[in-house]
Structure 1
Amino acid sequence: MITLQRTPLRGSERRDPANRSRRRFVRRQWLRRWLVWRYVIGSVLLVVLSVAGVWLVFFSSTLTVKHVDVQGESLLSQEQVLAAAKVPVGAHLAELDLGAIRTRVAGLAPVKHVDVSRDWPDGVLIKVTERRPVAVVQIGGRYQAMDADGVLFRTYPRPPAHMPRVVSPATISSDALAEAARVIAALPPGLAARVDHAGVRSLDQVTLTMRSGATVLWGSDAQSALKAEVLVRLLAHPARTYDVSVPGQPVTSGG
């Protein structure tokens, strides 16, 4: 059991109750004033910190653009990306329009995706994801790289020997070209290496010409993974024509 002991009063306090009351009154008054001043001081500090933060972010030269870093470029040079980005060196980081920078860089043909972020305290970081070529198309006498979405994004002086070509009429639609690109992109590497070129006359009419000279009737890009699997098995049996347009019912001829 704990016994509480009262602190004995000093002699003067026992002899003078009025003095004791005054002391208590003074302590209460001082406590009330401290509570009021505590909130006042806290509010003043908050205002000072806010003003200092606004000055630091929007008016000081501390948080301004001093460098721009580019990552992920290979087809493009860093200079090309920076020229397209047009990041204003010396501008305040907080006021930069990252969306506008992103749009300008995304306008470069080889760029598939771009991310732009502030690199505090004084930089901007541009991360570029470039398109990957899956085929080459000859248009207007020029050989152009095409990605899996059918986007043409760079020019070759001559077609790369390792890359399938897409042969098409000059008036072919972009949708038909994109379909041919999706077909080629779906081919496993071993099968793609055996393809000389893909022909596309219109939408849903894709054919493959193998390096052996055989022709593959592919049809549309639907079920391309299954068609590729079926074709690999069929190529074990030499033929002049392989029809995998309906992969559940493949047909060969001219064996």
Structure 2
Amino acid sequence: MEQEERAARRTRRRFARRQWARRWLSLRYVLAFLLVVGLVATSVWLVFFSATLQVKKVEVVGNELLSDGRIREIADIPLGEQLALVDLERADARIGSLAEVRSVDVTRTWPDAVRIEVVERTAVAVVELAGRLRGLDADGVVFREYRSAPKGMPRIRPGGGAGTDALKEAATVVSALPEDLATRVDHVEVATVDQITLVMRDQRQVLWGSAEESELKAEVIDRLLAAQEASVYDVSVPGNPTVR
């Protein structure tokens, strides 16, 4: 009888343990679910409502032509806005529309800042337009103004028929010139896209033609200028240059 009672007690204890294990397993799932919900709710609150993750500063780097204030004004990123809600693409497009800007990257810097990294255009020549000296970059984009032409920088003189494409072609030509040759150029006359002439500081002229094969033309004219005295050098066909 006593053995039967002990066996019954053991059975009841085992049953109770199994019941508790099942209850704990169910409770564990509920606790895990509540923990996940709590974490999600906390994250949502932090990202979209908490002052901790609001924009407190807008950092601008890489700019020289444009002031920090000008870039912040164009970006139009309000301080106090939730960092997660800042429209980076809109700010990027607004800054990228500035003529001085070649490229821009607007990013979030957690927990409370926006970083604007600007790459500005670099002038390879100056061009006179409507009585103003403007900088021209290697892509043919006019983007800044000068009071006087920087020393050693070629000046482009467009003719009446020279449009945007011709200026871009001239910029490609100037970009292809080695530095020692570029500094010897007084100005570049541009009639059309395929009628480009370099006028050297000693008044010798180089008929360049179009920007096609500009690197080869630069090599040819560098050798010709050193080897032969002439008034006009024609390298429009670099494989068959002529002088006169």
Query: Could you say whether these structures have the same fold, taking a TM-score greater than 0.5 normalized by the shorter chain as the test?
Result: yes
TM-superposition CA deviations, 1:22-48 (whole Å, max 9, x none): 111111111111111111100000001
Q: Which residue of structure 2 aligns with residue 31 of structure 1?
A: 21
Compute the displacement of 1:241 (Å). Answer: 1.2
TM-superposition CA deviations, 1:60-98 (whole Å, max 9, x none): 111001111100011111111111111111000111100
1:215 to 180, 202, 205: 205
Compute the displacement of 1:239 (Å). Answer: 1.5
Compute the displacement of 1:15 (Å). Answer: 6.9
Compute the displacement of 1:14 (Å). Answer: 8.7
Over the aligned positions, Cα root-mean-square deviation in angstroms equals 1.4
TM-superposition CA deviations, 1:106-153 (whole Å, max 9, x none): 122111101000111011100000000000001111111000011111
2:235 is the alignment partner of 1:247: no
Aligned length in residues: 242
Compute the displacement of 1:169 (Å). Answer: 2.0
Q: Distance in 1 between matches of 2:243 and 2:18?
A: 103
Helix, strand or coil for the counterpart of 1:62?
helix
Q: Distance in 2 between matches of 1:144 and 1:132?
A: 12
1:114 to 104, 110, 129: 104
Q: Distance in 2 between matches of 1:144 and 1:111?
A: 15
Cα contact 1:13–1:20 (8 A) shared by 2: no
Q: Distance in 1 between matches of 2:4 and 2:71?
A: 87
Between 76-85 and 127-136, report the one with greater CA deviation. 76-85
Compute the displacement of 1:194 (Å). Answer: 0.8
Q: TM-score, normalised to structure 1's length?
A: 0.91
Q: Which residue of structure 2 aligns with residue 163 of structure 1?
A: 153
Helix, strand or coil for the counterpart of 1:124?
strand
Q: Which residue of structure 1 aligns with residue 220 of structure 2?
A: 230
Cα contact 2:154–2:187 (8 A) shared by 1: yes
Helix, strand or coil for the counterpart of 1:163?
coil
The residue type paired with residue 190 of structure 1 is: D
1:178 to 142, 147, 168: 168
Q: % of aligned pairs identical?
A: 52
Q: Distance in 2 between matches of 1:57 and 1:188?
A: 53
Cα contact 1:216–1:242 (8 A) shared by 2: yes
Alpha carbons of structure 1 residues 196 and 20: separation in structure 2 relative to 1, 3 Å: same
Once superposed, which parts of structure 1, at least 4 consecutive aligned residues long, lie more than 6 Å away?
A: 12-15
Gaps (5+ residues) in structure 1? 1-11
Which has the higher Rg, Structure 1 or Structure 2?
Answer: 1
TM-superposition CA deviations, 1:197-232 (whole Å, max 9, x none): 111101111111111211111111111111111111
Q: TM-score, normalised to structure 2's length?
A: 0.95
Helix, strand or coil for the counterpart of 1:16?
helix
The residue type paired with residue 250 of structure 1 is: P
1:47-66 matches, cutoff 5 A: 47-66=37-56
Cα contact 1:145–1:154 (8 A) shared by 2: yes
Cα contact 2:138–2:171 (8 A) shared by 1: yes
2:59 is the alignment partner of 1:69: yes
Q: Distance in 1 between matches of 2:179 and 2:219?
A: 12
Q: Which residue of structure 2 aligns with residue 102 of structure 1?
A: 92
Q: Distance in 2 between matches of 1:33 and 1:205?
A: 89
The residue type paired with residue 239 of structure 1 is: A
Alpha carbons of structure 1 residues 16 and 198: separation in structure 2 relative to 1, 3 Å: same
Gaps (5+ residues) in structure 2? none
